[in-house]
Amino acid sequence: MTKPRCKLIGEDGNIFNLMGIASRTLKKAGMKDKADEMVKRIMESGSYIEALAVISEYVEIV
């Protein structure tokens, strides 16, 4: 899977904000199914670090 580039560095670090930005990036790239999958996995993650790791699996953080 080619990961779309997503500007998260310098953004508000609230995980819900980052998740929203990454989700919109995936949807704009025509990857709504991946966006939904990512959100589900983030909501099931046990920590902030784990949630960030999930985001990084789906988008290229820049």
Tens-digit pLDDT string for the chain (62 aa): 689 999 999 999 999 999 999 999 999 999 999 999 999 999 999 999 999 999 999 999 99
**pTM of the prediction?**
0.93
pLDDT at 34 (0 to 100):
98
Q: At residue 6, what are phi and psi to the nearest 5 degrees? A: -135, 120
Q: How far apart are CA 42 and CA 55, in angstroms?
A: 8
| Number of structural domains found in the chain | 1
Q: How far apart are CA 44 and CA 62, in angstroms?
A: 24
- Work out the end-to-end distance of the chain between its first and last CA atoms, rounded to an integer number of angstroms: 17
Cα separations (Å) of 52 from 13, 27, 30? Answer: 10, 18, 22
Q: Which residue range(s) make up the domain with 50?
A: 5-61
